[in-house]
């Protein structure tokens, strides 16, 4: 009788997926770099080595950027005719992939690859449909650390089943790999993916536009602010080891410095993965300063893993807050308008309750020191109102410490 009961319990847990993915991965939002936003399929061995070198020399590695991820276009147009394995494009990667993975690892970084749940990738290369376990074994043999798994060419395929199959294949291959579900939020992965992967896309593709979208006719790339709006209501699904992913960063790809700073700040407030998408080898000093602001990154990487939320919204000025470890808080004053906006925020009149995670910011009971995370300066405490001018499309981001 006891054996039968134990068998039933095991079946229940396996059906729920609790034994499915690797434990202990991505306990804070993953940080790294991805090739797609800037290079699309124009990638090579030389590019990867140059990016890896720059991640180290620029200080990005020391700031927490760990994963170097090759997106679509790394493989040849056909699988190996004898084994069925994926084949790295011999022109782009003449030395094969394992040598390149080893080079990235030698820099103290981790390596990621891309594929797709469909029959072909978004750029028309071989997809994984029907090859899940074989591809997982191939990735394990390379020693990669991260897999981005897209959702093109998937007519008639059930998203939950497809991603669950790939997750099980990665686990069966025996090599821990962070699993990034790039399903675009179409099938609401936040409802079912916690035990499937470590992060899941909540929206379609991002573009280097602050507001609005980039229209391609049959599909649209969304701007930074529309993507922020789409995150509202999803924070209850995120936490250590399972993150909402509003897509990669467009910092350094054509927006203004103010807009880049706002973009980065909001991704940190949202506890979003920080995956840079610019050409690191050519980034400006302003871009580097934004991407390597360790004080802002610390908000993103806070070990509580609580996603921030919009507390207040008036006249294009939004106030976002995020509970942090040791009962500290982060606050971000976001100006979405075309003109500067004055902030006059009286902490003692604003009792902020995070009812979802049972956290309260009450300046009448506790005085907090205020540090501006972009100017790297102390700005008094919560005994007095915060009075400042926020430029157009910019933020004031502060940390409140007990």
CA–CA separation, 323 vs 269, rounded Å? Answer: 10
Q: Which residues pair with 342 in a beta bridge?
A: 389
Minimal CA–CA distance to 316: which of 333, 292, 297, 294? 333
The three state secondary structure string of 50-90 is HHHHHHHHCCHHHHCCCEEECCCCCECCCCCCCCCCCCECC
Minimal CA–CA distance to 181: which of 158, 209, 201? 201
> Which DSSP string corresponds to 161-209?
HHHHHHHHHHHHHTS--EEEE--TTTT-GGGT-TTT-SEEE-SS-B-S-
Q: Residue for token digits 């003692």?
A: 348
Task: Tell me the residue ranges of DSSP E strands in 209-316.
Answer: 213-215, 220-222, 243-245, 274-276, 309-314
What is the number of alpha carbons within 13 Å of residue 134 lying toward its C-beta?
12
Q: Please give the structure tokens belonging to residue 386.
A: 């915060």
Q: Please give the structure tokens belonging to residue 49.
A: 């080595």
CB neighbour list of residue 315: distance below 8 Å, 6 or more residues apart? 337, 341
CB neighbour list of residue 167: distance below 8 Å, 6 or more residues apart? 20, 21, 179, 196, 197
Residues forming the active site: 150, 205
CB neighbour list of residue 356: distance below 8 Å, 6 or more residues apart? 235, 236, 309
Cβ burial of 267 (10 Å; 0-12, 13-18, 19+) is buried
């Amino acid at each position: 009788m006891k054996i039968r009961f134990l068998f039933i319990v095991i079946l229940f847990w396996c059906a729920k997926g609790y034994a499915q993915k690797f434990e202990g991965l991505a306990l804070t939002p993953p940080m790294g770099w991805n090739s797609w936003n800037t290079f699309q399929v124009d990638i090579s061995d030389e590019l990867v080595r140059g990016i890896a070198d720059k991640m180290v020399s620029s200080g990005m590695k020391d700031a927490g950027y760990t994963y170097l991820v090759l997106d679509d276009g790394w493989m040849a147009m056909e699988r190996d005719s004898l084994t069925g394995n994926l084949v790295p494009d011999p022109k782009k990667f003449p030395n094969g992939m394992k040598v390149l993975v080893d080079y990235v690892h030698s820099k103290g970084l981790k390596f990621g690859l891309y594929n797709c749940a469909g029959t072909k990738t978004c750029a028309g290369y071989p997809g994984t449909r029907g090859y899940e376990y074989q591809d997982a074994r191939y990735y394990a043999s390379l020693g990669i650390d991260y897999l981005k798994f897209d959702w093109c060419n998937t007519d008639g395929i059930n998203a939950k089943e497809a991603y669950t199959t790939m997750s099980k294949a990665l686990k069966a291959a025996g090599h821990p790999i962070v699993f990034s579900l790039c399903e675009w939020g179409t099938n609401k992965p936040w409802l079912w993916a916690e035990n499937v992967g470590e992060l899941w896309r909540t929206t379609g593709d991002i573009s280097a536009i602050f507001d609005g979208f980039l229209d391609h006719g049959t599909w649209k790339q969304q701007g930074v602010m529309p993507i922020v709006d789409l995150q509202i209501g999803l924070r209850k699904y995120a936490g250590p080891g399972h993150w909402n992913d509003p897509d990669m960063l467009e910092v350094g790809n054509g927006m203004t410095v103010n807009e880049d700073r706002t973009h980065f700040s909001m991704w940190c407030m949202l506890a979003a993965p920080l995956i840079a998408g610019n050409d690191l080898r050519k980034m400006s000093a302003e871009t580097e300063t934004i991407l390597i602001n360790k004080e802002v990154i610390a908000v993103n990487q806070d070990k509580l893993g609580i996603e921030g939320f919009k507390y207040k919204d008036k006249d294009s000025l939004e106030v976002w807050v995020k509970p942090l470890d040791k009962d500290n808080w982060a606050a971000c004053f976001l100006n979405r308008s075309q003109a500067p906006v004055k902030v006059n925020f009286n902490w003692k009149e604003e009792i902020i309750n995070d009812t979802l995670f049972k956290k309260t910011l009450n300046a009448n009971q506790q005085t907090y020191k205020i540090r501006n995370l972009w100017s790297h300066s102390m700005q008094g405490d919560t005994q007095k109102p915060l009075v400042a001018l926020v430029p157009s499309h910019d933020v004031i981001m502060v940390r409140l410490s007990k």
